[in-house]
Structure 1
Amino acid sequence: MQTYLMAFLIGGLICVIGQLLMDMTPLTPAHVLVIFVVCGAVLSGLGVYQPLVEIGGAGATVPLPGFGHALVTATIEDVNKYGFWGIFSGALRGTAAGITAAMIFGLLAAALFNPKG
C-alpha cells in the first residue's frame, strides 16, 4: 500500500509542478516537456534522480523526467560496457520500447479515430 501511495505522491507532485509551470508562466506544453526531460536527465547524471525512483517507483519513472532518467542511465551503462560507442547505443537501447509503444499507439489512435486536420 505504501508503494502505491509514494508513486501517487511523487507522480502527482511532478504533474502539479508541470501544471503550475503552464498556468503561471508563458511556457507552452512543449516547453514544459523539454524542461522535464532535460531536468530528469541532468538530475540522473548528478545521481539525484535515482533515489527518487527508488522512493516513488512508477511515479518517478513514468512521467517525463523518467524519460530523461532512462536516457542517461542506459547511456552510462553502455559507456561503461562498450566505451565511446556506448554514447550512441545507450540512449536508443534504453528508450526503444517506450518510443516504439508511443508510435504504435499513436498510429492506432489515428487509424481508429478521425484526427483533426
Structure 2
Amino acid sequence: MEYLRAFLVGGMICVIGQVLMDFFKIPSPYVLVSFVTAGVILTGLGLYEPIVKFGGAGATVPLPGFGYGLAKGVIEEVSKKGFLGAFTGGTAANAGGIGAAVFFGYIMSLLFTPKAKP
C-alpha cells in the first residue's frame, strides 16, 4: 500500500507539472523553480508534512520535496542555532542530495558530450 500511495502522490505532482508545461505553456525552468518554492511555502505553512506522511517518497523525491527538505532543515537549525541556522539548515539537510547531483552530473558530463541546441 505504501508503494501505491507514493506512486499516486508522485504521479499527481508530475501531472501538475506536465499540465503547467503543456496546456499553460509555462517553460520548464519556471515550473521547476515554482515547485521548489511551493514545497518551501507549503512546509512553512505546515501543509506539506501531511502529504509527506501520506505519500512518503512520492512526496519527498520530486522537486517540492527538495523545497520541503530545505524548509525543514532551516526550521530545525533555527531552533538549535538561532538566526545562523537560517543560512546553514537548508544546505545541511540536503547535503547528500546536492552532493549526489553534483557527482553524477560530473560523471555524465564525462561520459557524454553535451551539445547546444540550434
Q: What TM-score range do you get, normalising by the shorter chain?
A: over 0.9
- Is 1:72 aligned to residue 98 of structure 2? no
Tell me the secondary structure at the aligned position of residue 94 of structure 2.
helix
> Counterparts of 2:5 and 2:114 in 1: how far apart (Å)?
36
Look up the match of 1:12. Answer: 11
Q: CA deviation at 1:47?
A: 0.4
Structure-2 residue corresponding to 1:62: 61
AA aligned opposite 1:59: G
Runs of 4+ aligned residues of structure 1 deviating over 4 Å after TM superposition are: none
- 1:85 matched to 2:101: no
Q: Give the count of matched residue pairs.
A: 116
Unaligned runs of 5+ in 1: none
The two structures have a TM-score, normalised by structure 2, of 0.96
Name the Cα RMSD after superposition: 0.7
Deviation at 1:35, TM superposition (A): 0.6
The structural deviation recorded for 1:116 is 1.4
SS at match of 2:30: helix
Letter of the 1:26 counterpart: K
Aligned to 1:45: 44
In the alignment, residue 31 of structure 1 is paired with which amino acid?
Y
Q: Secondary structure at the match of 2:38?
A: helix
Structure 2 residue runs of 5 or longer lacking an equivalent are none
Q: Report SS of the residue matched to 1:26.
A: coil
Amino acid of the structure 1 residue aligned with 2:107: L
1:86 positional shift: 0.6
Q: d(CA) in 2 for partners of 1:107 and 1:66?
A: 23
